[in-house]
């Protein structure tokens, strides 16, 4: 048996927590005292990421519920059941007053049973759930601890329990080296026979309040079988059937993976790998930890010289930068009946004011699902902060970090120089060139055919199927109509934040009447919109361009407000009149129902300048639609050019992505 350490370049693949849609029967008013508490539950969309997770738990789902009010546990060890109206029936009503209350719960997400009730001698302030491996499987235990110190004044009487997964989920993919041009084909006919996960806990006790596992050292470790069979291995990443739920391991508990290959030079071969974290210099930096509420995709790479690589590698839906400590996609924001991610794809934070740099996501070329990440350390250390390609990197099919320009590869690739020389990788995991591809003569194309024209597949790739998008499953790229739901449906010349301006128009994309006031209003760079004016579903949008606490780094704040068909700005012809309408209760601009922030983190400019343009002052968000040789984008800037929905953006640009919920996903 050969023992190797894991070296991974792409990092943890975490599937992030996304909330469900708002209940149609939710009550928004604050009730009187002594109102019965209504509980509802939603799945935290982390492990499965299926599109149908927009719905609630199925009717009949069993929950084990706990409630803590001071030293009282009125719902302690009580079973609840999901009802047809998306509420939890839990027996004796809980009367909810202004005394803070904390409510906890666990479930398997099925109607068969709830987790076993805690023993009667369990401390009331520390409910625990015990689980163990049975017949090589663990239950998909989910827990809710988001309802702590709830008060009637701040929360009303309807409380929504957000259930997260208590286990870690592991899936595998496998790929072999391409030997098509080699005379010595050592990997021809090689198959996968078995995958086993070793040194994992067989039982544990879960602390619902803290969301952590505790293990009895006497329980020891065991092996968990993932796959037994005879699967062909190809030169393309192939999923190994199955999935495995694991107990998360502690930082001093080393897990290993055993892989058995068949027909490798005429015999079976077993290789075992310790799962270790290794930094870019090859230094061992500790045990690799599986975490609560995370899914991991492990890519096994079979090379002809030796089966020597197993990597936690990026996939098209699952790419998370290895340097991240927090792999959370965030809580969605609902604007005009569309649910948006609260952050750009790949961003660690949605708080642009206080944590601007963490709000920077990945940059994508149009119809190419390869994320480009800013190396902030190199960027800050560069002379004169020249924002060029050497500060942008991605990961290749082997999980290795690849810079678009480095000391070895000093030439910026263009669609012309790459044509006919090497395949360009479109999806993570593919063979080919992973570096950023510039266009030629500002043509906008990053891939050319044999005639020097744009490859035809590019215009259909993102629009033909959401499976071709870089967004997580259950999410999709926005259309121009989606962006038009919260943007002015016209374009404005920049700078737009000067003076006081008003417009009345029919939208260019949606074709519906809108009113817009914009400029420097009340000492703010601001836009105020009445969308769908005159329609029963009229609503308002406010857009503010704000500077974050990081000097020189701006962001755009979008706020959603209700409206009515009679609303108008027509008589508000001056800044003074408009500001007065804010104070005389004609317009309420202080209590939005939703806020979404977009960092002005620029874009990769595919020209000979090789620049990350507009960092800190503008933002470009991709739409999924092409427009002949160009494509549609949401263009947010005030320094030059235009603000609005632009249909003539070059496809070779590297732009940020903000995903929207795909309610049609299966």
Question: Taking residues 291-304, what's their average pLDDT?
Answer: 79
pLDDT for the residue numbered 316: 26
Q: Reply yes or no on whether the pLDDT at 26 is more than 50.
A: no
pLDDT for the residue numbered 263: 87
Where residue 146 falls among pLDDT bands split at 50, 70, 90?
confident
Question: Taking residues 169-198, what's their average pLDDT?
Answer: 84
Instruction: Kindly report the backbone phi and psi dihedral angles of residue 557, in degrees, each rounded to the nearest multiple of 5, phi listed first.
Output: -105, 120
Q: Reply yes or no on whether the pLDDT at 536 is more than 50.
A: yes
Q: Reply yes or no on whether the pLDDT at 93 is more than 80.
A: no
pLDDT for the residue numbered 326: 36
Q: What would the pLDDT profile of 194-211 be if each residue is shown by its tens digit?
A: 999 999 999 999 998 889
Q: In what order do the strands lie in the sheet with 203-207?
A: 128-132, 203-207, 212-214
Lowest mean pLDDT among 197-206, 448-457, 460-469, 625-634: 448-457
Where residue 543 falls among pLDDT bands split at 50, 70, 90?
very high
Dihedral sign for Cα 210, 105, 213, 284, please: negative
Residues in contact with 320: Cβ distance below 8 Å, sequence separation at least 6, in sequence order: 11, 12, 13, 14, 314, 327, 346
Where residue 576 falls among pLDDT bands split at 50, 70, 90?
very high
Burial class (CB in 10 A: 0-12, 13-18, 19+), 464: exposed
Domains 2-7+168-312 and 35-164 fall in the same CATH topology: yes
pLDDT for the residue numbered 664: 59
**DSSP structural state of residue 358:** G
Alpha-carbon 6 to chain mean position: 26
Among 75-89, 252-266, 438-452, 501-515, name the most confident range: 501-515
Collapsing DSSP to helix, strand or coil, 341 comes out as: coil
In 3D space, the residue among 587, 594, 595 whose CA is nearest the CA of residue 556 turns out to be 595
The class that CATH gives domain 2-7+168-312 is: mainly beta
CA 120 to CA 231: how far, in whole Å? 49
Q: What would the pLDDT profile of 43-86 be if each residue is shown by its tens digit?
A: 654 322 223 333 578 899 999 888 877 666 666 668 889 988 88
CA 310 to CA 302: how far, in whole Å? 8
CB 658 within 8 A of CB 332: no
Q: Reply yes or no on whether the pLDDT at 153 is more than 70.
A: no
> Of residues 507 and 99, which shows the higher confidence score?
507
Burial class (CB in 10 A: 0-12, 13-18, 19+), 377: exposed
Where residue 35 falls among pLDDT bands split at 50, 70, 90?
low
Q: Reply yes or no on whether the pLDDT at 23 is more than 50.
A: no
pLDDT for the residue numbered 314: 28
Lowest mean pLDDT among 253-267, 518-532, 568-582: 253-267
pLDDT for the residue numbered 446: 78
With pLDDT > 70 as the criterion, what percentage of the chain qualifies? 76
* Residues β-bridged to residue 214: 205
How far are the Cα atoms of 136, 185, 238, 260 from residue 264, in angstroms, in the given order?
28, 11, 18, 10
Where residue 101 falls among pLDDT bands split at 50, 70, 90?
confident
Residues in contact with 326: Cβ distance below 8 Å, sequence separation at least 6, in sequence order: 348, 349
Lowest mean pLDDT among 238-252, 422-436, 510-524, 586-600: 422-436
In 3D space, the residue among 642, 613, 647, 649 whose CA is nearest the CA of residue 495 turns out to be 642
Dihedral sign for Cα 408, 414, 420, 422, please: positive
Helix (H) or strand (E) holding 256: strand 256-264
Q: Reply yes or no on whether the pLDDT at 654 is more than 80.
A: yes
Read off the tokens for 250. Answer: 């502690």
Question: Taking residues 157-177, what's their average pLDDT?
Answer: 84
Lowest mean pLDDT among 3-12, 371-380, 506-515: 3-12
CB 579 within 8 A of CB 562: no
The class that CATH gives domain 35-164 is: mainly beta
CB 293 within 8 A of CB 12: no
The residues spanned by each domain of the chain are: 2-7+168-312, 35-164
Q: Reply yes or no on whether the pLDDT at 303 is more than 60.
A: yes
Q: Reply yes or no on whether the pLDDT at 241 is more than 80.
A: yes
Helix ranges (DSSP H) in 80-174? 152-155
Read off the tokens for 393. Answer: 């990197």
pLDDT for the residue numbered 333: 77
pLDDT for the residue numbered 607: 67
Where residue 122 falls among pLDDT bands split at 50, 70, 90?
low
pLDDT for the residue numbered 71: 63
With pLDDT > 90 as the criterion, what percentage of the chain qualifies? 32
CA 543 to CA 537: how far, in whole Å? 20
pLDDT for the residue numbered 542: 96
Q: Reply yes or no on whether the pLDDT at 90 is more than 90.
A: no
What is the average pLDDT score of the chain? Answer: 78
pLDDT for the residue numbered 25: 28
pLDDT for the residue numbered 227: 95
CA 613 to CA 25: how far, in whole Å? 46
Pairing, β 38-43 against β 158-165: parallel
Question: Taking residues 509-535, what's their average pLDDT?
Answer: 95
Question: Taking residues 378-400, what's their average pLDDT?
Answer: 72
pLDDT for the residue numbered 433: 86
pLDDT for the residue numbered 213: 93
């Amino acid at each position: 048996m050969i023992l190797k350490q894991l070296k991974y370049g792409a990092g943890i693949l975490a599937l992030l927590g996304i909330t469900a849609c708002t209940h149609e029967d939710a009550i928004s008013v604050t009730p009187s005292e002594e109102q019965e508490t209504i509980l509802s539950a939603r799945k935290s969309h982390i492990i499965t990421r299926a599109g149908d997770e927009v719905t609630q738990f199925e009717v009949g789902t069993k929950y084990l519920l706990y409630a803590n009010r001071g030293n009282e546990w009125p719902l302690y060890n009580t079973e609840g059941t999901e009802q047809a109206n998306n509420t939890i029936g839990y027996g004796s009503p809980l009367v909810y007053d202004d005394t803070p209350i904390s409510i906890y719960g666990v479930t398997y997400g099925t109607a068969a049973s709830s987790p076993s009730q805690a023993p009667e001698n369990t401390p009331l302030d520390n409910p625990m759930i015990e689980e163990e491996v049975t017949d090589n499987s663990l239950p998909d235990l989910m827990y809710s601890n988001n309802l702590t110190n709830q008060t009637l004044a701040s929360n009303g009487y309807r409380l929504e329990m957000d259930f997260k997964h208590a286990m870690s989920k592991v899936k595998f993919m496998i790929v072999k080296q391409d030997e098509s041009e080699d005379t010595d084909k050592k990997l021809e006919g090689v198959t996968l026979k078995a995958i086993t996960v070793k040194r994992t806990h067989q039982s544990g006790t879960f602390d619902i309040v803290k969301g952590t596992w505790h293990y009895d050292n006497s329980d020891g470790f065991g092996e968990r079988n993932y796959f037994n069979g005879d699967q062909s291995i190809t030169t393309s990443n192939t999923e190994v059937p199955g999935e495995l739920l694991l107990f998360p391991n502690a930082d001093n508990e080393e897990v290993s993976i055993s892989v058995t290959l068949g027909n490798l030079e005429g015999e079976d071969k077993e290789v075992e790998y310790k799962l270790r974290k290794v930094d870019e210099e090859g230094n061992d930096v500790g045990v690799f930890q599986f975490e609560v509420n995370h899914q991991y995709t492990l890519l096994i790479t079979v090379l002809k010289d030796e089966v020597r690589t197993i990597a936690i590698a990026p996939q098209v839906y699952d790419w998370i930068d290895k340097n991240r400590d927090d792999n959370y996609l965030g809580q969605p924001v609902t604007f005009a009946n569309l649910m948006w991610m609260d952050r750009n794809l790949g961003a660690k934070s949605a708080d642009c004011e206080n944590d601007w740099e963490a709000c920077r996501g990945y940059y994508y070329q149009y119809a190419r699902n390869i994320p480009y990440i800013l190396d902030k350390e190199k960027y800050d250390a560069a002379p004169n902060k020249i924002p060029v390609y050497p500060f942008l990197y991605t990961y290749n099919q082997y999980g290795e970090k690849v810079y678009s320009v480095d000391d070895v590869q000093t030439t910026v690739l263009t669609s012309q120089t790459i044509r006919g020389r090497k395949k360009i990788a479109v999806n993570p995991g593919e063979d080919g060139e992973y570096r950023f591809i510039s266009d030629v003569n500002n043509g906008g194309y990053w891939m050319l055919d044999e005639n020097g024209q744009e490859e035809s597949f590019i215009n259909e790739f993102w629009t033909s199927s959401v499976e071709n998008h870089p967004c997580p499953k259950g999410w999709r790229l926005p259309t121009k109509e989606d962006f038009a739901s919260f943007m002015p449906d016209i374009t404005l010349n920049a700078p737009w934040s000067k003076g006081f301006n008003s417009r009345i128009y029919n939208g260019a994309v949606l074709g519906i009447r809108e009113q817009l006031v914009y400029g420097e209003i009340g000492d703010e760079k601001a836009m105020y919109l009445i969308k769908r004016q005159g329609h029963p579903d009229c609503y308002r949008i406010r857009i503010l361009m704000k500077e974050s606490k990081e000097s020189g780094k701006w962001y755009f704040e979008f706020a959603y407000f209700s409206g009515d068909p009679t609303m108008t700005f027509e008589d508000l012809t001056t800044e003074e009149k408009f500001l007065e309408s804010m104070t005389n209760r004609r317009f309420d601009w202080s209590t939005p129902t939703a806020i979404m922030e977009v960092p002005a983190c620029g874009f990769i400019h595919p020209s000979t300048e090789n620049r990350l343009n507009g960092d800190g002052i503008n933002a470009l968000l991709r739409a999924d639609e092409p427009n002949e040789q160009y494509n549609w984008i949401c263009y947010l800037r005030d320094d030059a050019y235009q603000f609005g929905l632009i249909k003539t953006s070059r496809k070779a640009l590297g732009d940020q992505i903000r995903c929207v919920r795909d309610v049609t996903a299966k």
